[in-house]
């Protein structure tokens, strides 16, 4: 039985972009990259469906999420610093 191959996102994007360009047939692209033509067609379809999301508010939502994560981390750093200072003072280890 054949082992199932896994492809990374960059590889899939490269193959899908070739298919979207339309300079060669799906079969030619599949042969070059050693994948089944149905897989090339699937990746092309996925890329075309997801393309509008790149320009949507998804990026803004990600930025908000990143900002919230940064704020939580800064709060955690502040809390840990206060705890560390308290422990240093309590144990008499002032550095």
Q: How far apart are CA 75 and CA 67, in angstroms?
A: 12
Q: What is the pLDDT of residue 22?
A: 94
Mean pLDDT per 10-residue section of the chain, whose length is 95 residues: 82 95 96 96 94 72 78 90 90 75
Residues 6+ apart with CB under 8 A from 18: 24, 29, 33
Q: What is the pLDDT of residue 4?
A: 78
Q: How far apart are CA 21 and CA 33, in angstroms?
A: 15
Q: What is the pLDDT of residue 69?
A: 86
Q: What is the pLDDT of residue 12?
A: 95
């Amino acid at each position: 039985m054949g082992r199932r191959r896994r492809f990374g996102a960059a590889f899939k994007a490269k193959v899908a972009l070739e298919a979207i360009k339309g300079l060669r047939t799906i079969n030619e692209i599949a042969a070059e990259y050693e994948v089944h033509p149905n897989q090339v067609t699937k990746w092309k379809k996925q890329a075309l469906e997801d393309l509008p999301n790149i320009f949507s508010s998804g990026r803004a939502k990600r930025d908000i999420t990143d900002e919230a994560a940064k704020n939580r981390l800064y709060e955690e750093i502040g809390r840990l610093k206060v705890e560390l200072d308290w422990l240093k003072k309590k144990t008499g280890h002032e550095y």
